[in-house]
Structure 1
Amino acid sequence: MTPNERKRALRLDLVLAGIMVAVGLTMAGVSLAQLQSRDSRMAQTTSPPAATTPSVPAGNDNGPAESKPGGTRPTTPPPEPARPDAEAQKKGASPALPAAPAEKMGEPVQK
């Protein structure tokens, strides 16, 4: 490339870059003008108020236990451990979760 061709190419690149910047600023200005011209109040939909009586879980006729401020959380039915103790296992209780797989260990890395 000759120096004149380089100047012409640089000038063309700068003109194109300027046009792109101007178009981008124009688009941003038009978008902001549209946003400001719209009515700022939006209709808000609200869901109907929740029922005052809590839903009753399946298989339970009287509903969940009442919670008391400052007290412990009600647990109906009471929580059970994932692994029953040894005495319960002797009576035939099965664990709620399957046994975890054994950890796999490889050989130590030799340096």
Structure 2
Amino acid sequence: MSPDNSKRAYRKQLLLASLLVTAGLVMSGLSLIGIRAQNSQQMAQATPPTQSSPPENQNKPAESKPGGERPTTPPPEPARPDTQPQTQGAPPVLPPAPAEKIAPPIKEK
């Protein structure tokens, strides 16, 4: 490529870039003018205000009476832990390794 052609290509690219930047600035300016032309007193509200409702008597817990009895449909039983799991211990998580995978014990130095 000769120097004249490279200068010409550079100028074309620079002109194109300048036109694109100018077009972007014009679009931004027109958008800002459109925003300012709208009524600036508008307010956005994400959710409507909550309306208070009268309290409901059904949601209240029952009144407690001193000395009253607790209703127990199934009779309570004392906790009795199983003695068998205590003597056996926990089951192993993994099965034992095959014999060829077990290494000899480490010797102390």
Larger-gyration structure (1/2): 2
Report which of the two has the higher share of helix: 2
Instruction: Give TM class, smaller chain.
Output: 0.3 to 0.5
Question: What TM-score comes out, normalization by structure 2 length?
Answer: 0.47
